[in-house]
Each structure stands twice: as structure tokens, then as C-alpha cells.
Amino acid sequence: MKINSPRSLQRIVISLVVIGLIALALGGYFQPVNTLFQRLTVDIQTWFSNRYLALVDFLTVPRDVVSLRQRNAELEAEVAQLQTEVITLQQKVADVEILSALLEFARANPQYSYTGATVIGRDPSPFYRYVIVDVGSNNGILPGMPVVTNRGLVGRVDAVIAEAARVQLITDSASAVNVRLQASNTEAMLLGSVTGDLSLDMIPQDATVQPGDIILTSGLGGVYPPNLLVGQVVSVRKLEYELFQQASVQPNVDFSRLQFVLIITDFKPVDIAPLIPTPGP
Amino acid sequence: MRTFFTLLILFAAAISLQLSVISRIQLLSGNADLVFVILAAVSLQERARSMLWWSIGLGWLMGNISATPWYIFVGAYLLGTAIARLLARRVWQAPLLALLSVTLVGVFLLHGLTFVYRVLFETALSFTEVFSQVILPSLLLNLLIAIVLYPLLRDLIERLYPLEV
């Protein structure tokens, strides 16, 4: 082997350089270069990876949009269904609240027997303030029976068929209820009107009536039981030259939102017509 | 027979809607009479038959449901239908105008008769209050319903009574 041949010399130099580099690397002298290299490599790799994923996204997005739209439609349908259920449940909760209030009223007034009824319609004529309820003679309902809610007096049964009954509200213009002002213990007459407003008439001039006075049924005339809440006085009209005072009344029952009522079934209205004297010949 | 059953279903639906929905929609103290508006619309069709019988039947039914005496509904519906039949032969070029006219006359007839009955036999009412609070608002609601229902009823009536060519 010839050491001084150019090829052998080249090998020796390369070997020395490699050994030197390894020695330098093992000695930690290449750390900054190594770090720079790694960072460069990672950056390049990241760049390529991001571009690749973007390309994959670009190629697969249309299919995802279709599935997303489908899923969105499904979810929207589900939301609509749930909203419907929520509204139904809210309605049921409102119904239950009214019914439990009616039940409480019935428990608080155990002297009467009640039959619950749902309001299913209103009189088609605007001249008449009547409602139609879903119980009739098959349920033991008779004409003249008083109708109440937990908030107070509603009216009385006017006509009955087998499965339904027509109830005259106290707001009807032909309705007249004998009432009593709780504060002054004064008798008066509660009258309806064609507009549905209530007024008090026949209040004696010497009676003290004030806005806010509670009005209860008096039981006179035998049409309604006594001590049923009706409403309260809103304003009083007292004129010296008139025989009686008058007052406008705010009913306790909201007649525009009447849904459920209680019919007092064991109250027998008294017909006092034969006792009223008729003009003789 | 098909016409009869279609009208039967139509009027049954109208009565149900009237009691449950339309009677609750009030303008002041007035409300609309859907049954009469539909009766008038069908009666204005020249080829419609037996409408006077329908008016009697519907009037009797409404009168029995309502606290209003049945003969007031029958009288008002019968007169309204008779006027509609009369107009059907004379104002056929303007059916909407005819419908509005019959509605107007029908409302005045029904409410006028009811007012007279209540004053005579039931309770004292102030005419000015009734006119401003009940009759005029009811008239307005009925006319509005007639205008809204007219296109729907026209299509239905054309199907019920097709032109004979």
C-alpha cells in the first residue's frame, strides 16, 4: 500500500475530517447548528403539513357542507318540535294552575257541590254576553245553577242540552244581581251592559261607598248564593237630586279569558215570580 | 249531492269557528258573523240553488245556539239571502261589491232586529251606545271578513257551480 498516493491521501483526510466532526459533535460544538437545522426542518415540515391539510379540507369540504346542512335541518326540526312541546307544556301548566286554583276554591267553600266545566264557545251575537260550557243535563246541570271561578261570580246557567249548557254572564245587559257592599253592609243591584261593563245601582243615598269597596252577592232574590265575590267599586256617582247612588265596578273575573268554571250544582234557585204582585183588573 | 255535502262541511266549520274564535275577536263590543258572510257569498252565485232553505236551517241553528231567539236569526238570514239572490241577477258584474252590500244590509237587519227584541222584551238599551259600540264595529269586522274571504270563497264557489259551456 502506497501512503503517498493521491487517492490514499484523500481517504486519510476525509477520515480525519469525519473523525474530527464526530469528535466536535460529541463535544457539543455543533449544538447551535443542530438547533438551527432542527428549527428549519420543523418549519418546513409544518408548512408542508398545513398546505396538505388545507388541500384535503378544500377537497372534502363540499361533502361536509351537504352533511352539515342535513344535520342543521334535522336540528332545526328538532328545535321546532321542542318549541312546540314547550308551548304545549306551558299551556298545560297554565291550565293546571287554573284548575288547582278552582280546586282550592272548592275546598275552601265546602258548603257547595261543584261540577267543573270548560268554556267551549261564546254567543255568536254581540248583544248577548253568554258562554257555552261542555257539561249539560247528562252531568246533572240544570237551568239557574250559579257559575263561579276561584276569582268570583261568573253568572248562571241559562239553557241546557244533554252535553252542553249556555251560561249568562253577569256582564250581560239583561243580568241583574243582588249584591252587598262588604264595608258598609249596604244592599245594591249589580247591572251588566251591552259593552260588558258592570255598574252598581240602587245604592241608598246615605250609604258610604268608596272606591275599592268589595262587592259580594247578597243572596236576596234567591238567584245566587250569598257571599260570592263579585268585584270592587272603581268610582262612585252621587247626585243630590237622584234617589240612589251609582258606581262603576271592576269585576274580579276576567271574562275575556274565561277557560274553566265551576257550576254549583246543589244550589236551588228560588223562583219568586209568583210572589210579585201583578196589577189587578 | 257533492255540493250539498261540501256546503254542509263548510257551514259546520264556519259555525265552529264562529263560536270558538270569531266571537272572541271583538272590536269595541262588536264581532263578525262568519256564517252570514259565507251564506251571502254562496247565495250571490247565480247558479246556487236552495239557498233560502240553507238560510232557514242556518238561522234556526244559530238561533238555538245563541241566546237570541231563533226567529230573529232566521228572519235576518232569510232576508239577507233573498237580497243576495236578487242582487245576483242584477249586479253580477261586480260580485265583491254585491257581497259587501249584502253583508252591510245583513248586519243592519240582524242587529236591528236583535236590538228591537232586547229593548221590547228584555232590557233597556241606549241606541246611540249600541250603534257606536256594537253595530258599527260589527259592520266593519264583517266587511273586513268579506273582503278577506272573497277570493277563497270565489274559488270554492266556482268549483261547486262550474260554468256550463
Domain annotation covers residue A226: yes
CA distance B30 to chain A (A): 5
How does residue A119 score in pLDDT terms, banded at 50, 70 and 90?
very high
The DSSP bridge partners found for residue A246 are A237
User: A222 and A135 share a domain?
Assistant: yes
Domain annotation covers residue A90: no
User: A30 and A165 share a domain?
Assistant: no
User: A121 and A48 share a domain?
Assistant: no
Domain annotation covers residue A150: yes
Per-residue pLDDT, averaged over B12-41, amounts to 91
Whole-angstrom Cα distance, residue A196 to residue A258? 14
Give A153-159's long-range contacts (Cβ < 8 A, gap of 24+). A153/A177, A153/A217, A153/A224, A153/A228, A153/A229, A153/A230, A153/A253, A154/A253, A154/A255, A154/A258, A154/A261, A155/A131, A156/A223, A156/A224, A156/A269, A157/A263, A158/A130, A158/B67, A159/B67
Residue A168: how many other CB atoms lie within 10 Å:
23
Per-residue pLDDT, averaged over B67-86, amounts to 92
The number of folded domains in chain A is 2
CB contact under 8 A, A168 and B133: no
Domain annotation covers residue B142: yes
Q: Which of B35, B123, B134, B142 to mutate to test the interface with A (most CBs of A within 10 A)?
A: B123
In the predicted structure, residue B124 carries a pLDDT above the cut 70: yes
Domain annotation covers residue A277: no
Interface of A with B (CB under 8 A): 120-128, 130, 132, 158-159, 166, 168, 173-174, 194-196, 256
User: A26 and A138 share a domain?
Assistant: no
Q: Give yes or no for B142 touching A (CB within 8 A).
A: no
pTM comes to 0.76
Whole-angstrom Cα distance, residue B95 to residue A117? 44
Domain annotation covers residue B165: no
How far are the Cα atoms of A73, A250, A261, B61 from residue A168, in angstroms, in the given order? 50, 18, 13, 19
The number of folded domains in chain B is 1
**By residue range, what is the domain housing residue A187?**
114-268
Whole-angstrom Cα distance, residue A94 to residue A78? 24
Q: Which three cell numbers stand for residue B11?
A: 257551514
In this structure, what is the dihedral angle of CA atoms A205, A208, A213, A217, given to the nearest 10 degrees?
Answer: -50
**Residue-averaged pLDDT of chain A:** 88
In the predicted structure, residue B165 carries a pLDDT above the cut 80: no
In this structure, which amino acid lies at residue A275? L
Domain annotation covers residue A189: yes
Interface of B with A in 2-61 (CB under 8 A): 18-20, 22-24, 26, 28-31, 33, 35
Helix (H, G, I), strand (E, B) or coil at B50: coil
User: A118 and A21 share a domain?
Assistant: no
| Minimal Cβ distance to B20: which of A121, A123, A166 | A121
CA distance B162 to chain A (A): 32
Q: What is the CATH number of the domain that holds B39?
A: 1.10.1760
Q: What is the CATH number of the domain that holds A204?
A: 2.40.10.350
Whole-angstrom Cα distance, residue A270 to residue B133? 35
Q: What angle is formed at CA A233 by the lines to CA A232 and CA A237, rounded to 5 degrees?
A: 165
The ipTM (two decimal places) reads 0.88
CB contact under 8 A, B19 and A196: no
In the predicted structure, residue B90 carries a pLDDT above the cut 80: no
Whole-angstrom Cα distance, residue B36 to residue B146? 10
DSSP state of A134: S
Which bin fits A202, alpha (ψ -120 to 50), beta or left (φ > 0)? left
CB contact under 8 A, B118 and A125: no
Whole-angstrom Cα distance, residue A253 to residue A190? 14
Whole-angstrom Cα distance, residue B12 to residue B88? 24
CB contact under 8 A, B138 and A173: no
User: A48 and A137 share a domain?
Assistant: no
- The per-residue pLDDT for B32 is 92
Q: Which of A206, A208, A148, A210 is nearest to A177 (CA)?
A: A148
Q: Which three cell numbers stand for residue B39?
A: 251564506
Domain annotation covers residue A23: yes
Q: Crossing angle for the helix pair B70-90 and B34-43, nearest 10 degrees? A: 30
User: A31 and A121 share a domain?
Assistant: no
**By residue range, what is the domain housing residue B113?**
2-160
Per-residue pLDDT, averaged over B128-137, amounts to 93
How does residue A281 score in pLDDT terms, banded at 50, 70 and 90?
low
In this structure, which amino acid lies at residue B13? A
Number of H helices, E strands in chain A: 2, 12
Radius of gyration in angstroms for the set of CA atoms belonging to chain B, rounded to a whole number = 16
Domain annotation covers residue A20: yes
Share of chain B above pLDDT 90, in %: 55
pLDDT digits (tens, 9 = 90+) for A60-87: 766 667 788 889 999 999 999 999 999 9
Listed in sequence order, the residues at least 6 apart from A263 whose beta carbon sits closer than 8 Å to its beta carbon are A114, A115, A116, A117, A133, A135, A141, A145, A146, A147, A157, A165
Domain annotation covers residue A171: yes
